């Protein structure tokens, strides 16, 4: 059984190589998939997230990410930095990214932002975690610190209540692990389309509703569609649910603990046969935002 799990997780690692890391609560850290988001909140935003996927399955994916994004003074420029660490079975990846955005007002309420992303990926493979029959097989060897660079871009049209964005975080398809001329572990181009809008449900604006959608397209993998709906109460509490097409149902909750601190939690329940072998996935994050002394937060945003 253990050998089966290890082999299965290696195949999962291969699948993950084709697709970028997924987050249920991507809407709070959009800069990881769209560089044009950098600085769009108008404040310095510091974000940290821990995701444990498929709890109960040995070697299942564990993801940690930290990011910082901020507008640059009073200019139209935004800047962001992020680190994503992915551990899946025998593999360990670290992805470092730098994002630069430039925003143009298109109306009194809306801005159009353009962004570029530069990425460095460091990939490690520990074959000692694989059930290899022939230890002398040259196709199975440890990989330590395999480096691949990449570049990406995105556009993001947004106001305080609406957004729509399109992005390609990585333009370069790169092989991380090869078997002669066949790419076993390969990063492929991912295309993202996101959109959302915040509705006020009463005159006092104490209840807000935000439906959102994320569509991810990548060659060699099924179309991924995430649909979510969140409610915010008194600018403090957030409750919501999401559905990832043919993959998972999710529940989300958040709390604006203070002017700067926001904490969120998400739980995924698999809707595939894999649910028979795990107890779901958990995601928790913290966001801290730095405001100017004369400009505090007036109405917390969903995104």
Q: For the stretch 33-42, what's the b/e string if a residue is b when 16 or more beta carbons lie within 10 angstroms of its beta carbon?
A: bbbbbbbbbb
Question: Given this model, what pLDDT does residue 127 score?
Answer: 76
Rg of the chain (C-alpha set): 20
Which domains, and CATH codes, for the chain? 26-130+141-290 (2.40.160.40)
Q: Answer whether residue 101 shows pLDDT above 70.
A: yes
Among residues 22, 218, 226, 194, the alpha carbon closest in space to that of 113 is found at 194
Confidence of residue 267 (pLDDT cuts 50, 70, 90): very high
Question: Given this model, what pLDDT does residue 291 score?
Answer: 75
pLDDT by residue (tens digit) across 218-256? 977 788 999 999 999 999 999 999 999 989 999 999 999
Q: Is the pTM of this model over 0.85?
A: yes
Report angle CA 24, 111, 257 to the nearest 5 degrees: 45
Q: Answer whether residue 59 shows pLDDT above 70.
A: yes
pLDDT by residue (tens digit) across 132-172? 665 665 556 667 778 999 999 999 999 999 999 999 999 99
Q: Answer whether residue 210 shows pLDDT above 60.
A: yes
Counting every residue written for the chain, the total comes to 303
Average pLDDT over residues 108-116: 96
Task: Return mean pLDDT, the chain.
Answer: 86
Tokens of 182: 């066949």
The span from the CA of 57 to the CA of 277, in Å, is: 7
The span from the CA of 147 to the CA of 118, in Å, is: 14
- Look at the block and give the residue holding tokens 């999401």: 242
Contact 253, 263 (CB under 8 A): no
Q: Answer whether residue 108 shows pLDDT above 70.
A: yes
Contact 229, 209 (CB under 8 A): yes
- Look at the block and give the residue holding tokens 């209840």: 207
Q: Answer whether residue 198 shows pLDDT above 60.
A: yes
Dihedral pair phi/psi, residue 107, rounded to 5°:
-165, -175
């Amino acid at each position: 059984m253990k050998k089966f799990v290890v082999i299965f997780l290696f195949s999962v690692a291969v699948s993950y190589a084709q697709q970028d890391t997924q987050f249920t609560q991507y809407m709070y850290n959009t800069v990881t998939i769209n560089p044009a988001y950098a600085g769009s909140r108008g404040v310095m935003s510091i974000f940290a997230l821990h995701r444990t996927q498929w709890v109960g399955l040995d070697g299942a994916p564990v993801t940690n990410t930290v990011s910082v994004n901020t507008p640059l003074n009073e200019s139209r420029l935004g800047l962001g930095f992020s680190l994503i660490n992915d551990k899946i079975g025998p593999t360990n990846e670290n992805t470092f990214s730098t994002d630069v955005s430039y925003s143009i007002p298109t109306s009194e309420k809306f801005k159009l932002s353009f962004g570029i992303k530069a990425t460095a990926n460091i990939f490690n493979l520990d074959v000692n975690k694989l059930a290899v029959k022939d230890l002398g097989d040259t196709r199975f060897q440890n990989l330590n610190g395999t480096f691949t660079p990449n570049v990406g871009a995105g556009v993001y049209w947004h106001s305080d209540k609406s957004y729509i964005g399109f992005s390609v975080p990585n333009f370069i398809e790169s092989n991380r692990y090869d078997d002669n001329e066949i790419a076993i572990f390969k990063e492929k181009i991912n295309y993202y389309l996101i959109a959302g809008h915040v509705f006020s449900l009463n005159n006092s604006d104490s209840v807000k509703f935000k439906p959102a959608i994320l569509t991810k397209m990548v060659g060699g993998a099924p179309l991924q569609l995430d649909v979510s709906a969140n409610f915010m109460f008194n600018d403090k509490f957030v409750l919501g649910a999401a559905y990832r097409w043919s993959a998972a149902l999710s529940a989300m909750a958040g709390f604006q603990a203070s002017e700067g601190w926001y904490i969120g939690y998400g739980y995924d329940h698999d809707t595939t046969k894999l649910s028979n072998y795990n107890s779901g996935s958990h995601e928790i994050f913290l966001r801290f935002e730095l405001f100017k002394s004369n400009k505090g937060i007036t109405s917390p945003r969903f995104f």
